[in-house]
Amino acid sequence: MTLDAVEPQIFTGALAAAANSVSIVTASHAGKRAGLTVSSMCSVCAEPPLLLACVNADNDFCSLADESQRFAVNMLEQRHVQLALVFAGLTDTTDNHDRFNQGEWREGVTGSPLLERSLVSLDCEVDSVFTRGTHRVYIGKVVSVVNSAGLPLVYTDRAFAVTQALD
């Protein structure tokens, strides 16, 4: 017997309890750039080095990543709250191109935009991608990593948060 799924509101309320790191995923193709703030990025496995990010299929990121078969993940540091808001479309800077006027950006080895002094930036080739419901799930093979020092920006209980070590 198949069990009924919970209502979306129950689901989103439950998942709001998760504490996730915040990243800006970016892609570039034919002179166009797109990027958005995500909390869905996580590791898949280390051998091979794979990560994933779930992106709404309507977002421009998807067409560019699908064309180029490449994307980048820029993990944000605690001082990047404003940038996270800009790349979530939650400020007056709503145009996708204008978003890159905020922060310092350069091209990574995949051609995808990398944020200077992000916590960590990871260049990826698309390993596989599939659609489930409203979102596309991008699994990326990591081909380059740039590390900087800092503390991660976290999102939990529908708010940005900082980490605190317990010992």
Ligand X SMILES: Cc1cc2nc3c(=O)[nH]c(=O)nc-3n(C[C@H](O)[C@H](O)[C@H](O)COP(=O)(O)O)c2cc1C
Q: Which residues bind ligand X (CB under 6 A)?
A: 22, 36-40, 54-56, 59-60, 87-89, 96, 155
Query: Strand, coil or helix: what is 63?
Result: helix
Nearer to ligand X, 54 or 75 (CB): 54
Could you list the beta-strand ranges (E) of 19-164: 20-21, 23-29, 32-38, 42-45, 50-56, 70-75, 105-107, 113-115, 120-132, 135-147, 154-156, 159-161
Compute the least distance from the CB of residue 155 to ligand X, in Å.
4
Compute the least distance from the CB of residue 1 to ligand X, in Å.
32
Nearer to ligand X, 87 or 105 (CB): 87
Q: Which residue is nearest to ligand X (CB)?
A: 40
DSSP structural state of residue 108: -
Nearer to ligand X, 1 or 137 (CB): 137
